[in-house]
Chain A
Amino acid sequence: AQSVTQPDIHITVSEGASLELRCNYSYGATPYLFWYVQSPGQGLQLLLKYFSGDTLVQGIKGFEAEFKRSQSSFNLRKPSVHWSDAAEYFCAVGGEGGSEKLVFGKGTKLTVNP
């Protein structure tokens, strides 16, 4: 069964610092990987996704993620964090097939200090 682990429940960084959020997945076939962001009281917004091809994926808001098959990881990065990036971040894995469900990690809450 597919699963996603986000090892960090809560991360605090200073504004302007770099950020890396970790995500490890378990999936028996070719994974389709996603990062979503959720601001307080808001719905989920897709940051980026990986299906195939270049393992470094660029997303919105200056985020990127790197797929490493050997490590079963899909870590999210940003070189310089802004105060508006404070939110909760969810990694998710899906698969081939039209009805394939999306399985989420438990989320990482990001706090940004001024």
Chain B
Amino acid sequence: DVKVTQSSRYLVKRTGEKVFLECVQDMDHENMFWYRQDPGLGLRLIYFSYDVKMKEKGDIPEGYSVSREKKERFSLILESASTNQTSMYLCASKENYGYTFGSGTRLTVV
């Protein structure tokens, strides 16, 4: 079975900290995505990557950056965490028309 692993299930960080959310897929997929999920807003796309070192902004990229140095790993970076970035973060990878999601990282910024 395909697998997308997000390294942390729960994270608590302080305002102003630099935060790394890691996502690893074992399927050799080229395309990977980071979404943010908030109640009543559904899932919103932050960034995606269609190849190593390639990235594109999604709908809400402000306050975030990403890194894709290897095909299997796609990292989301909060340069200076703020309380309005408290949310559930979901990573996904895609090949052809199959999307696989990780279990999510619930981030709380205090």
Contact = CB atoms under 8 A, between A and B. Distances in A.
B30 interface: yes
**Interface size bracket, B side:** 20 to 34
A94 B48 contact: no
A6 B43 CA distance: 13
Given A34-B99, A98-B50, A106-B40, A43 B31 contact: no
Interface in A14-68: 32, 34, 36, 42-44, 46, 49, 51
Contacts of A106: 40-42
Contacts of B45: 101-103
Contact of A99 (B42, B48, B102, B104): B48
A49 B98 CA distance: 9
19 contacts: A32-B97, A34-B99, A43-B101, A43-B102, A43-B104, A44-B90, A46-B99, A49-B97, A90-B42, A98-B30, A98-B50, A98-B94, A99-B48, A99-B56, A101-B58, A102-B45, A102-B99, A105-B42, A107-B42
Given A42-B103, A94-B97, A101 B48 contact: yes
Interface of A is mostly: loop
A43 B37 CA distance: 11
A74 interface: no
A51 B99 CA distance: 13
Contact of A43 (B33, B58, B103): B103
A11 interface: no
Contacts of A34: 99
